[in-house]
Amino acid sequence: MHELALMEALSELALEQAERHGGGSIRSITLRIGSLAGVELEALQLAFAVVMERQGAVPVELRIESVAARCYCPSCESEFEAIDGCCECPECGCISHDLLAGRELDLVSLELE
């Protein structure tokens, strides 16, 4: 499962950061996930619970900021939201190859105790 591997990597990163900031335990983790990142949010929540349980960590809250995919159309010189990952401009039908947002997969912040 892709999400499990991802969550393992993210939790390692989070623990590393926590250690660097004094070694407190993590209270919450905030992730930013683009709608085209190829991640199932439900599966991610599940993977998060599995990884945290395995580490015997105290309950950690997972917050997810989702980011809508946005494209830039060079013909209209405008930005539009890429609904369902479709990069066809709603104005002129031009296929945009310029994805501005939507592939994010970032650890945004950690809240430590």
Query: CB 103 → Zn ion: shortest distance, Å?
Result: 21
Establish if 81 lies at the interface with Zn ion (CB under 5 A).
Answer: no
CA 94 to chain centre: 28
Residue type, 44: L
Helices and strands counted in the chain (H then E): 2, 6
| Identified binder of Zn ion from the candidate list 12, 38, 55, 75, rule CB under 5 A | 75
Establish if 110 lies at the interface with Zn ion (CB under 5 A).
Answer: no
Establish if 62 lies at the interface with Zn ion (CB under 5 A).
Answer: no
Residue closer to Zn ion, measured from CB, 49 or 101: 101
- 81-101 in b/e form (b: 16+ CB < 10 A) is ebeeeebebeeeeeebeebeb
Residues engaged in binding Zn ion (CB under 5 A)? 73, 75-76, 89, 91-92, 94
